[in-house]
Amino acid sequence: MGSAPSAATSVHELDIDLESAQSPSASPSLSDSKSHSPPPPRPESRASTTFAVPVVPKHLRRGLFARFALIPETPQPTLYTRRTKWSITALIALCAAAAPMGSAIIMPSLLIIASDFNSSPTVTNLAVALYMLSMSIFPLWWSSFSETLGRRTIYVVSFTLFVLFSILSAVSNSIGMLIVMRVLSGGAAASVQAVGAGTIADIWEPRERGRAMGIFYLGPLCGPLFAPIIGGALAQGLGWRSTQWFTAIYGAVVLAALIFLLPETLRQKEVKMPEAKEEKERPSASLRRTTTAVSVVQGTKRTAAILRRCFLDPLRIILLLRFPAVAITVYYASITFGSLYFLNISVEETFSDPPYGFSTLIVGLCYIPMSVGYILASVGGGRWLDHIMKREARKADRIDADGKLIFRPEDRMRENAWMSAVMFPLALVWYGWSAEKHTHWIVPLIANFFFGLGSMIVFAMATTMLTEFMPRKASTGIAVNNFVRNIFSCVGGIVAHPLIKALGNGWLCTILAIVALISGCVVIWAMKHYGDRWREEMDRKMEDW
C-alpha cells in the first residue's frame, strides 16, 4: 500500500483526452511535452490524441491486492480515457447501491421478522432505523482513513466486512443479533457514500463532474427502487432470511469487481526527501543513546498519535459545518433527503392499506415513477449542471493563462436550483392531498415522478458542490453531508408512521413542502450573494486542515 514515487513509474501508451492532458493538474512529465503546442481554441474542445502517460508498476501500486487490478494505476487519474472513467464511475455507482439496498430490502418483511422472533413492530423497526444511523456515523471514519490509506483499500476492507455481516444477519437467532449485525453491515457498506464521491472527484475534471456525479448518484437512489420489489418477492417465496443472503451475494460480486477493476485513484502526496548533505551531518543519529524517560515519552507520543488518528481525526470532519457554504448546502440536501424518506414510508403505508390494498410486490412497483424521475435527472441534470458552470465562467470572463475556464462551486446554483426548489415541494403537496383523498393511484404516482426529478437535481448539485469546496479532500465534504442527512432520514423513519397517523398525508406533506420551499429559496439566495466570500474565507482556513 505504499505510495509509488514518481521516479519509479513506467511509461505506457494510453489514449487520453487532449483537454485533460492540457489541464493544469497534469503531471510535470506531460507539461514539458505540451509546452510547445498551442492551447485549444476553445476550453471545451474534445479532441483526442495519444500521449505517453506514466503508469505505476505493479509492484509499486497502492491498495490491497493491487497487483490483481486490470486497470493500471496512474499518478494522474484525470488522464484516463473516457471509457475507463465511465467504467470506474459505473462500478462505484453499483457499490453505492449496496447500503440503501440493504436498508430497503428488509422493509416488506418486517412483520414476518416480528412474528418470527416474537418481538414488537417498534423493536423490529430498529433494524431499519439504526441501520440508517450507522450509515451516517461510519462514513466519518471511512472518509478520514481513505485520505491516507487510499480509496481501493477502504473499498476492499469495507465490502469484505459487508459480506461477513450480511451473512451473520441471515443466520441471526434473535432480534438483538439481527439488529446489531445489520448496524455493522450498514456501516460497512456506507463507505461508498463518502469515499465514492471522492473517487469521482479524483478522475473527473470539474467541467464534467456534474454529469459524472449524477450517474454515480443513480446507485444510492435506484437501490431503494429495486430493493422493495426484490425483498417482497424473496420474503414471500423463501422467507426473510433470503433477503440478507441476497445482500451478501451482491456484496461478494461487487467485492470481486473492485479487486479486479478498480485502480487506486487518490493523488499521491509529494514527500520531500532529505538532502544527502543533511544525512552526512548526522551520521551517528541512529547510534545515539536514548534514556528510558525519553523512550517512554516518544512511545507515548506515538500511541497518542495513533489514538488521535483512529478516534479524533474522523470526528474533526464534523467541524466543517462551521463554514457557512458547507453548512447551508448540507442543510438543504438533508431537508430534501428527509422528505424522501417520509415519502417512501408514506407510499408503503398508503398503498398497502384500503382502499388501495395492494400486495407487497405491487407496493414495491409503486416506487418506479419516483425512480424514473431520479434517472432522468441524473442523466440530463448532470449535463445541464456542467453547461451552467461553463456558461457562468464565460459570462464572468474567468479564463486562466492556459485558456481554461475557471469554475466556482457556487455557480452550480442557478436556474436549475430554483426550478428544483419549487418542483419537489409542489410535488409533495400534490402527492399528499391526492393520497389523502384516495384518488386513482396514478395521480399520486405522477406526483412522485416530479418529486424524484426535482429532488435528484438537489442531490447531484449539493454533492458536486461539496467535492469542489474541498478539492484536496473531496470525500470529507461528502462524509459530513452523509452524517447529517442520514440522521435526518433515521429520525424520519422513526417518526413518519405516527405523524402520518396523527396528521394524515395531506397536512404532513404540506408542512414538509413549506419547510423545503423556504429552505431552498433562502439557501439559493444566500449562496448567490455570499457564496464567493464564504468560499474564499474557507479556502484560507482550510490551508492548515
Q: Which residue, of 232, 251, 267, is where some domain finishes? A: 267
Full 3-state SS string of 330-393:
HHHHHHHHHHHHHHHHHHHHHHHCCCCCCCHHHHHHCCHHHHHHHHHHHHHHHHHHHHHHHHHH
pLDDT of residue 306: 62
Cell numbers standing for residue 217? 448518484
Structural domain contains residue 40: no
Query: Do residues 151 and 202 lie in contact, with contact meaning Cβ atoms separated by under 8 Å?
Result: yes
Are both 338 and 207 inside the same structural domain? no
Whether the Cβ atoms of residue 99 and residue 186 lie closer than 8 Å to each other: yes
Gap between the Cα atoms of 79 and 94, Å rounded: 23
Give the structural domain span for 262: 81-267
Residue 241 and residue 345 in one domain: no
354 and 498 share a domain?
Answer: yes
Question: What CA–CA distance (Å, rounded) separates 215 from 380?
Answer: 10
Residues 6+ apart with CB under 8 A from 484: 136, 321, 330, 331, 333, 334
Please indicate, yes or no, whether residues 501 and 363 belong to a single structural domain of this protein.
yes
Q: How many domains does the chain have?
A: 2
Residue finishing a domain among 205, 238, 267: 267
Residues 369 and 491 in one domain: yes
Asked if the structure places residue 459 within a domain, the reply is yes
Q: What is the pLDDT of residue 3?
A: 42
User: Is 214 found in the same domain as 117?
Assistant: yes
In angstroms, rounded to a whole number, what is the distance separating the alpha carbons of residues 374 and 451?
A: 9
Q: How deeply is 161 buried, as exposed, middle or buried, from its count of CB atoms within 10 A (0-12, 13-18, 19+)?
A: middle
Tell me which of 267, 286, 302 is where a domain ends: 267
pTM, rounded to two decimals: 0.69
Kindly state whether residues 339 and 262 are assigned to the same domain. Answer: no
- CATH label of the domain that carries residue 339: 1.20.1250.20
- Residue 541: Cβ-neighbour burial (10 angstroms; 0-12, 13-18, 19+): exposed
Answer yes or no: do 494 and 357 share one domain: yes
d(CA 423, CA 42): 35
**The pLDDT value given to residue 543:** 64
Is residue 379 domain-shared with residue 497, that is, in the same domain?
Answer: yes
- Asked if the structure places residue 23 within a domain, the reply is no
Q: Is residue 353 part of a domain?
A: yes
380 falls within a domain: yes
pLDDT number for residue 296: 63
The number of residues making up the chain comes to: 545
Is residue 362 assigned to a domain? Answer: yes
Please report the pLDDT score of residue 422 as a whole number.
94
* Same domain assignment for residues 396 and 517: yes
Question: What's residue 475's pLDDT?
Answer: 66
3-state class (DSSP) for residue 16? strand
> Is residue 334 in a domain?
yes
Q: Which helix (H) or strand (E) holds 62?
A: none
Q: Are 345 and 487 members of one domain?
A: yes
According to the model, what pLDDT value does residue 44 have? 40
Q: Does residue 12 fall inside a structural domain?
A: no
Q: What is the pLDDT along the chain (545 residues), one digit of tens a residue?
A: 444 444 444 444 444 443 444 443 333 443 344 344 444 444 443 433 344 567 888 888 998 999 899 999 998 898 899 999 999 999 999 999 999 899 888 877 887 898 899 988 778 878 887 888 888 888 888 887 887 888 999 999 999 999 999 999 999 999 999 999 999 999 999 888 878 888 998 899 887 887 888 788 778 777 776 887 888 888 888 889 999 999 999 999 999 999 999 999 988 765 343 444 444 444 444 445 556 666 666 666 666 666 666 656 667 778 888 889 889 999 998 899 888 878 887 887 899 888 998 887 787 788 889 888 888 887 777 778 778 878 888 888 888 777 777 777 777 788 888 999 999 999 999 999 999 999 999 999 999 999 999 998 888 888 878 877 876 666 677 778 878 887 887 787 778 878 888 999 999 999 999 999 999 999 999 988 888 888 888 878 776 55
Q: Is there a single domain that holds both residue 135 and residue 248?
A: yes
Give the pLDDT of residue 95. 94
